[in-house]
Amino acid sequence: MTRLLSIILLAAAHAAAQPADKLPRPTTGLITPIPAQAVPTTPPPPTAPQCQVIMRPLPGRGPENPGDAGQLTWNVTWDASVSAAQRAVIQFALDEWRNIVLDTTNRIPNPYPITIQFTDFGATSTLLALTSVSYFVASGNLSGATMSFNTRTSFYVDATPGDDSEFSSPTPPAGTDLLTVARHELGHAVGFTQTARIDAWLSNGIFDAARLNIGTDTTTGVGFHTSPSIHPNELMNPSIGPSTRRPISLYPSAALVARAFEYRIPMSFIDPNSPGSLLTGTVNQPYQTIAQAASAPILLFAPTTHHVPLNTIVSGSRTWSAARGGSIIVAP
């Protein structure tokens, strides 16, 4: 077990578990939470929120058609205000979210309608962008979204959005990164919004404390975001500084919308306290034991104690991390 534990601790630091031999004796190991996203030194983000979410309620529950299931696709209406260069960057972010939401279940229409535009927010506005989300009050399911960017913002429009190397240089690009803002606003569009589906898991500002333990910010008039004090440098925080690029994180950002809207994302979950019997590894139907999840390449542990039997073998490369609060692995 000594070798396995050294691998588990390494997973906390490097997020990669390596093959383990048979376990000779019981012991205990600790998996620490996913660390905050490392970013180059840049000016601190503004204290005022730079994003706003406008919720537009619709009567009823909306369509809940199992035929809508499948990988996320978009039905985009591009306003004439979006230049070709801007469109290319935003399309890159659209494709990223499409490759994260692998199954939409039946909680949003698929293809998902979204309008994208650039508008003048006025001289006194501090907002970089805002997203208006239409949703059905009774179910919390989504209907569509409109994403608006402020033309008064000096955006960095990256000609090669798949290459982040310029942000690691001593002089990163000036201005606000359009790709990061687009990733953020699309997060709101696919469910990072405070509908009934979010409220069902929210208590005292913490989303799903038992399984995901995500700290949130529900500032009135701004919308639903991750808490900057709990999740620093997270994409879904309400503000971002200049010359900064943030990725779409599987945890906490994608995991939160997956929990609320029952999406399947490219991360598996394990929660020994889950009462379910369908062990698909999704955040809503998590694995209950490490043995069941042994083949999962990317795995998030609920912040609790996990038991593993003796002589358990983990083969191949795995990414094992824990939700905020950390997890303890005990054998047997």
Residues 21 and 55 both lie in one domain? no
Using CA atoms, how far residue 25 sits from 284, 307, 320, in Å, is 33, 14, 22
Query: Would you tell me how many other CB atoms lie within 10 Å of the CB of residue 200?
Result: 12
Give yes or no: residues 158 and 67 share one domain.
Answer: yes
Strands (E), the chain: 28-31, 51-58, 74-78, 112-119, 129-136, 142-150, 155-156, 176-177, 202-203, 206-207, 214-217, 225-226, 268-270, 298-301, 305-307, 319-322, 327-330
* Single residue among 232, 260, 288 that ends a domain in this structure: 260
DSSP β-bridge partners for residue 247: none
Single pTM value for the model = 0.88
Same domain flag for 150 and 14: no
State residue 65's pLDDT score. 60
Total domain count for the chain? Answer: 2
Say whether 23 sits in a helix, a strand or coil: coil
**Token output for 230:** 């709990």
pLDDT-above-70 percentage for the chain: 83
Half-sphere exposure of residue 125: CA atoms within 13 angstroms, side-chain side: 17
Shared-domain flag, residues 102 and 141: yes
Domain assignment present for residue 39? The answer is no
Mean pLDDT of the region 78-103: 98
Same domain, 88 and 205: yes
Residues 174 and 25 grouped into a single domain: no
Residues 229, 151 share a domain: yes
Q: Tell me, what's the pLDDT at 16? A: 36
pLDDT digits (tens, 9 = 90+) for 105-145: 888 999 999 999 999 999 999 999 999 999 999 999 999 99
Distance of alpha carbon 227 from alpha carbon 218, whole angstroms: 9
Q: Mark whether 187 and 271 lie in a shared domain.
A: no
> What pLDDT does residue 15 have?
36
Q: What pLDDT is recorded for position 121?
A: 96
Is 42 inside any structural domain?
no
What is the model's pLDDT at position 93?
98
pLDDT band at 9, cuts 50/70/90?
very low
Query: Containing domain of residue 78, as a range?
Result: 51-260
- pLDDT for residue 107: 87
* Mean pLDDT of the chain, nearest integer: 86
Residue 26 has pLDDT above 70, yes or no: no
Assess whether 165 and 313 both reside in one domain. no
